[in-house]
Structure 1
Amino acid sequence: MDRLVEEYLHALVVEKGLSQNTVVSYRQELRRFITFLSKENIKDIKNVDRYVILNFLDELDRAGISRNSIIHAISSLRKFFLYLLQINMITDNPMNNIVPPKKAQHLPSILTTDEVERLLATPNTATNLGVRDRAILEVMYATGLRVSELIHLNLNELHLEMGLIETVGKGDKQRVIPIGDVAIKWLNEYLQGPRGALLKNQNYDIVFLNQHGRPMTRQGIWKNLKQLVLKAGITKNITPHTLRHSFATHLLENGADLRIVQELLGHADISTTQIYTHVTQQRLTNVYNKYHPRA
């Protein structure tokens, strides 16, 4: 079964050109399913029926897996079994009549503008790593980049003299994003000294490097951010995506058009961007309830 999964993932890359992050996500979902089959002593994929699928989904639910993650697992399995049908590995699709739960609507956590200012001011810019961290935070908040886009940002994608950067997002879609003067200032400060000191004698074109002079990872960004949030005295549960959420919400609160925010974020569907209108409405309600004498 592991071989079938790898052949399927290879087909996704070759035939559909899916990004590496998408393939990794599918692999994780399918490996979890294969592990479940092994525990159930099911050794042949042809023996998987609708009830096996339902038992697997029930196990995910009992394990506390979120509703949206279960929806993603169903989507991954649906595509996998369609592939198995196409190559005549199975004759009946066990995913028929498997109805996913409704998607959970939860509003993303965001930072206030005051909290953003505190966070941005936290890195010790007297050090090379501090300048790098300040530049990372400024770029993430100024552009709304995903963390995967940030760690793959290349030197030739910076067009700072024009106030622009390029990035390749989900589905390998390229977009150009404006970047503000403050973020440009800190990026230039990082590029003109600290980056070279971190790079030493190595040869990387990736913009943001770790203390060993190698490209930063998602885990590295996450770890640094957690430490900075703690130092800033912010008690919210903050992830790298929180800065992206804050970027979008603050734009809308200050009058930006939803379509423009969609383009800046690289969303294929505007319904994905519309979640931020709910965030701004909720924040308006909170402010009203707090400050209006008859709220």
Structure 2
Amino acid sequence: MKSEEKSTNKERQALIIRKYQQYLKLEKSFSANTLNAYQADLEKLLHFLEGENIGVLDVTLDDLQRFAAGLHDIGIHPRSQARILSGIKSFFHFLVIADYLEGDPSELLEGPKIGFKLPEVLTVEEIDRIIETVDMDKKEGQRNRAILETLYSCGLRVSELCNLKLSDLYFDEGFIKVEGKGSKQRLVPISPRAIKEIKYWLIDRNLGKIKTGFEDYVFLARWGNNISRIMVFHLIKELAEKAGITKNISPHTFRHSFATHLLEGGANLRAIQSMLGHESIATTEIYTHIDRNMLRSEIIEHHPRNIKYHKEQGIH
């Protein structure tokens, strides 16, 4: 009975969204591009609500505030946050005028302060250019390529990357174990492309110098100890310059870009927060219901370089 009810609710929701699209097209006379943008932003909310098991007609202001807090939490630029929330307000306004709802839960939903500055976000094409700029003829070329792929594949903080251990790699399962702020550990899905680059690097690594006490670190400097944050910072600056990118970027830019590209690609907000190792500012134990397989498929399927990699490998 419950599955039938769920199916009916989904059909009703699909009908409401179709009517909303007609409203935007016919009554608002929006262009095709604007329609697509509104639809894409609404889908971010619908994906979030689905994960929370909340129907569109049961949404409260608290639900919308948690969604908005999540956008801020993963580092989405304030202008993008404002655009997404504006589209969502338009949807709930429609639900009221079309008599689906009596009151508008988004009425008191506040947008971000646009003056708040976040680090730059790189486009997928710019990230590709930076990675392609790595000089593979240099001794450290494979290591540098693996560093960039891991940063962008997993959305790691630079300190998490520098401290990554061989004993934290679970390649057969497609995860790595990461120790974040406050010594909190989390499992992070890692892409097939990043796994391949790390495996190539490990061949070079094992032929080089390894200092006593650093045998378990994945990424080593020339002199045999683990790489430093400053070194990764300089590497990214240097490669960005060589790739002709003038944005002011740092290793953290890869983390912000990772989160932005996943959200724009349709990944679930909760899954992205979990990947980044963030605590929601609205709730406490929010990740307990996120199944590991679901988390992995959410991230791997929506990550732009993974989509490209699968096409190159002929994987469907």
**TM-score, structure 1 as length reference:** 0.55
Aligned counterpart for 1:196 among listed residues 195, 200, 206: 206
Other structure's SS at 1:236 match:
coil
After superposition, the C-alpha distances for 1:131-188 in whole angstroms (9 at most, x for unaligned) are 0000000000000000010111011001112211000101111100111111111000
Other structure's SS at 1:145 match:
coil
Residue 127 to residue 255, structure 1, CA distance change in 2 (3 Å): same
Q: 8 Å contact 1:226–1:239 — kept in the other structure?
A: yes
Please give the alpha-carbon distance, in whole angstroms, between the structure 2 residues aligned to 1:202 and 1:232.
Answer: 36
Q: Which residue is 1:265 aligned to?
A: 276
State the shift of 1:270 in Å.
Answer: 5.2
- Write out the 4+ residue segments of structure 1 that deviate beyond 3 Å after TM superposition: 200-203
Please give the alpha-carbon distance, in whole angstroms, between the structure 2 residues aligned to 1:270 and 1:132.
Answer: 36
Whether 2:163 is the aligned partner of 1:152: answer yes
Residue 185 to residue 269, structure 1, CA distance change in 2 (3 Å): same
- Structure with more contact order per residue of length (Cα contacts < 8 Å, sep ≥ 6): 2
Other structure's SS at 1:199 match:
coil
Q: Which residue is 1:222 aligned to?
A: 233
Please give the alpha-carbon distance, in whole angstroms, between the structure 2 residues aligned to 1:270 and 1:242.
Answer: 22
Q: 8 Å contact 1:128–1:195 — kept in the other structure?
A: no
Aligned counterpart for 2:138 among listed residues 108, 117, 127: 127
Please give the alpha-carbon distance, in whole angstroms, between the structure 2 residues aligned to 1:196 and 1:209.
Answer: 10
Please give the alpha-carbon distance, in whole angstroms, between the structure 2 residues aligned to 1:211 and 1:242.
Answer: 25
Residue 103 to residue 215, structure 1, CA distance change in 2 (3 Å): farther
After superposition, the C-alpha distances for 1:240-294 in whole angstroms (9 at most, x for unaligned) are 00000010000000001111110000011257xxxxxxxxxxxxxxxxxxxxxxx
Q: 8 Å contact 2:122–2:257 — kept in the other structure?
A: yes
Q: Which residue is 2:122 aligned to?
A: 111
RMSD over aligned Cα atoms: 2.1
Q: 8 Å contact 2:210–2:225 — kept in the other structure?
A: no
Other structure's SS at 1:128 match:
coil
Whether 2:176 is the aligned partner of 1:165: answer yes
Q: Which stretches in structure 2 are left out of the alignment for 5+ residues? A: 1-112, 283-316
Q: 8 Å contact 1:259–1:270 — kept in the other structure?
A: no
Other structure's SS at 2:140 match:
helix
Q: Which stretches in structure 1 are left out of the alignment for 5+ residues? A: 1-101, 272-295
Q: In the alignment, residue 263 of structure 2 is paired with which amino acid?
A: L
Q: Which residue is 1:254 aligned to?
A: 265
State the shift of 1:121 in Å.
Answer: 0.9
Q: 8 Å contact 1:195–1:209 — kept in the other structure?
A: yes
Please give the alpha-carbon distance, in whole angstroms, between the structure 1 residues aligned to 2:137 and 2:115.
Answer: 44
Please give the alpha-carbon distance, in whole angstroms, between the structure 2 residues aligned to 1:107 and 1:218.
Answer: 20
Q: Which residue is 1:58 aligned to?
A: none
Q: 8 Å contact 1:198–1:210 — kept in the other structure?
A: no
Q: 8 Å contact 1:132–1:190 — kept in the other structure?
A: yes
Q: 8 Å contact 2:211–2:225 — kept in the other structure?
A: no
Give the paired residue count: 170
Whether 2:234 is the aligned partner of 1:234: answer no
Please give the alpha-carbon distance, in whole angstroms, between the structure 2 residues aligned to 1:264 and 1:131.
Answer: 25
